[in-house]
Chains A and B, each alone.
Chain A
Amino acid sequence: MQSDSIQTRKKESMSLDNKAQVLSADTAMRIQGLSKEETLKFLNTSDKGLSAEEADRRLLEYGHNEIRAVKGKPLWRKLVAQFTHFLALLLWIAAGLSFLSEYLHHGEGMLSLGIAIVVVIFINALFTFVQEYRADKAVEALKKLMPFKVKVMRDSILNEIPSGDVCPGDLILLSEGDKVPADARLIAVNRLAVNNAPLTGEAESKPMTCHPFDGDLMESPNIVFAGTLVVSGSGSAVVFATGMATEFGKIAHLTSGVEQGLSSLQKEIISVTRTIAVIALSTGIFFFGVGTFTGRGFWHNLLFAIGITIANVPEGLLPTVTLALAMGSQRMVRKKALIKTLTSVETLGSVTVICTDKTGTLTRNIMEVSDIWMDGPDTESRLMKAAWCCTNAVYAGGCYKGDPTETALLRKAREVYGDLSAELVSDIPFDSVRKRMTTVNRIKGEVFVFTKGAVETVLPLCSRLLSGGTEKPIDDCSKASLMQAYQTLMDRGLRVLAFAYKKEDVSDKEECLVESDLVFTGLMGLEDPPRPEVPEALKKCGEAGIKVIMITGDAGRTAMAIARQIGLVGEHPRVIEGPELNGMNDDELKKALVEEIVFARMTPDHKMRVVSVLKDEGERVAVTGDGVNDAPALKKADIGIAMGLSGTDVAKEAADMVLLDDNFATIVNAVEEGRAIFENIKKFITYIFAHGTPEALPYIMFALFRIPLPLTVMQILAIDLGTETLPALALGVEPPEASSMKQPPRRNSGLIDSALLFRGYIFLGLISAVSVLFVYFFALYRGGWQWGMVLPQGHLLERQASSAVFLGIVIMQIGNVFSCRSATEPVLGHGIFSNRLINIGIVVEVLLAVFIIYHPLGNRIFGTAPLESAIWFILFPLSGLLLIADDVRKRYVIRRLHTS
Chain B
Amino acid sequence: MYKKILVAINEFTNSEVAARYALALAKSCRSRLFLIFAAEEGIGQNAFGHAEGALVRLFAAAEGMGIEVESNTVKGATFKTISGVVREHGIDLVFTATRREDIQKRFFVRTHAREFMMNLPCSVAMVRVVEMGRTHPRNILVPLKGHLSQIEERAYFTAKLAQGFNARTTILNLSGPIKGIFQSWEQERDFGPDKHTAKGVEDFISHLEQYKVQHERRSAQGSVARSITTEAAFRKNDLIIMGASERGLFKSFLSGNPVENVLRETPCNLIVFRPGRKSR
How close is A435's CB to chain B, nearest CB, in angstroms? 30
Q: B265 touching A70 by the CB < 8 A rule?
A: yes
With A14-B60, A27-B65, A84-B183: A257-B265 Cβ-Cβ less than 8 Å: yes
**A433 at the B interface (CB under 8 A):** no
With A14-B60, A22-B57, A27-B24: A257-B233 Cβ-Cβ less than 8 Å: yes
Q: Which residues of B contact A261 (CB under 8 A)?
A: 178-179, 187, 221-222
**A71 at the B interface (CB under 8 A):** yes
Q: B69 touching A6 by the CB < 8 A rule?
A: no
Q: A6 touching B75 by the CB < 8 A rule?
A: yes
Q: What is the bound-complex CA distance between A722 and B12, given in angstroms?
A: 69
Q: B267 touching A262 by the CB < 8 A rule?
A: no
| B35 to A, closest residue via Cβ | A9
The stretch from A53-61, A783-791, A815-823 touching chain B is A53-61
Q: A84 touching B181 by the CB < 8 A rule?
A: yes
Q: Which residues of B contact A30 (CB under 8 A)?
A: 134, 136
Q: Which residues of A contact B71 (CB under 8 A)?
A: 8-9
Q: A21 touching B56 by the CB < 8 A rule?
A: yes
Q: What is the bound-complex CA distance between A54 and B130, given in angstroms?
A: 17
With A71-B264, A262-B178, A270-B183: A245-B63 Cβ-Cβ less than 8 Å: no
Q: Which residues of A contact B166 (CB under 8 A)?
A: 28
Q: What is the bound-complex CA distance between A10 and B70, given in angstroms?
A: 4
Q: A254 touching B230 by the CB < 8 A rule?
A: yes
How close is B204's CB to chain A, nearest CB, in angstroms? 19
Q: A58 touching B13 by the CB < 8 A rule?
A: yes
**A683 at the B interface (CB under 8 A):** no
Which of A7, A257, A632 is the one whose CB lies under 8 Å from B229?
Answer: A257
With A4-B76, A6-B74, A9-B70: A25-B65 Cβ-Cβ less than 8 Å: yes
A: contact size bracket: 35 or more
Q: Chain B, 36-76, contact with A by CB distance < 8 Å: what is the 0/1 string?
A: 00010000001000101001110111111100111111111
| B64 to A, closest residue via Cβ | A25
**A342 at the B interface (CB under 8 A):** no
With A14-B60, A267-B187: A44-B135 Cβ-Cβ less than 8 Å: no
**B79 at the A interface (CB under 8 A):** no
How close is A249's CB to chain B, nearest CB, in angstroms? 7
Q: Give the residues from 168 to 191 in chain B that come closer than 8 angstroms, CB to CB, to chain A.
A: 178-179, 181-184, 187
Q: What is the bound-complex CA distance between A5 and B85, given in angstroms?
A: 11
Q: Chain A, 1-22, contact with B by CB distance < 8 Å: what is the 0/1 string?
A: 1101111111100100011011
Q: What is the bound-complex CA distance between A30 and B55, given in angstroms?
A: 22
| A260 to B, closest residue via Cβ | B178
Q: What is the bound-complex CA distance between A266 and B136, given in angstroms?
A: 44
**A638 at the B interface (CB under 8 A):** no
Q: B179 touching A62 by the CB < 8 A rule?
A: no
Q: Which of A31, A253, A609, A612 has the most CB of B within 10 A?
A: A253
Q: Which residues of A contact B131 (CB under 8 A)?
A: 240-241, 245
Q: B183 touching A26 by the CB < 8 A rule?
A: no
Q: B136 touching A240 by the CB < 8 A rule?
A: no
Q: A29 touching B178 by the CB < 8 A rule?
A: no
With A1-B74, A5-B72, A259-B230: A240-B222 Cβ-Cβ less than 8 Å: no
Q: B183 touching A185 by the CB < 8 A rule?
A: no
How close is A736's CB to chain B, nearest CB, in angstroms? 28
How close is B96's CB to chain A, nearest CB, in angstroms? 14
| A10 to B, closest residue via Cβ | B70
Q: What is the bound-complex CA distance between A461 and B132, given in angstroms?
A: 47
**A126 at the B interface (CB under 8 A):** no
| A51 to B, closest residue via Cβ | B46
Q: What is the bound-complex CA distance between A744 and B63, given in angstroms?
A: 67
Q: Give the residues from 7 to 43 in chain B that come closer than 8 angstroms, CB to CB, to chain A.
A: 11-14, 16, 20, 23-24, 39
Q: B61 touching A18 by the CB < 8 A rule?
A: no
* Interface residues in chain B, defined as those with a beta carbon under 8 Å from any beta carbon in chain A: 11-14, 16, 20, 23-24, 39, 46, 50, 52, 55-57, 59-65, 68-76, 81, 84-85, 88, 99-100, 129-136, 164-166, 178-179, 181-184, 187, 216, 218, 221-223, 226-227, 229-230, 233-234, 236, 261, 264-265, 267-268
Given contacts A11-B70, A18-B56, list 8 more A-B pairs with CB under 8 A: A11-B63, A30-B136, A43-B132, A44-B16, A61-B12, A62-B132, A245-B131, A258-B230
11 contacts between A and B (CB under 8 A): A30-B136, A85-B182, A85-B184, A86-B183, A253-B229, A257-B229, A259-B227, A262-B183, A267-B187, A586-B216, A609-B234
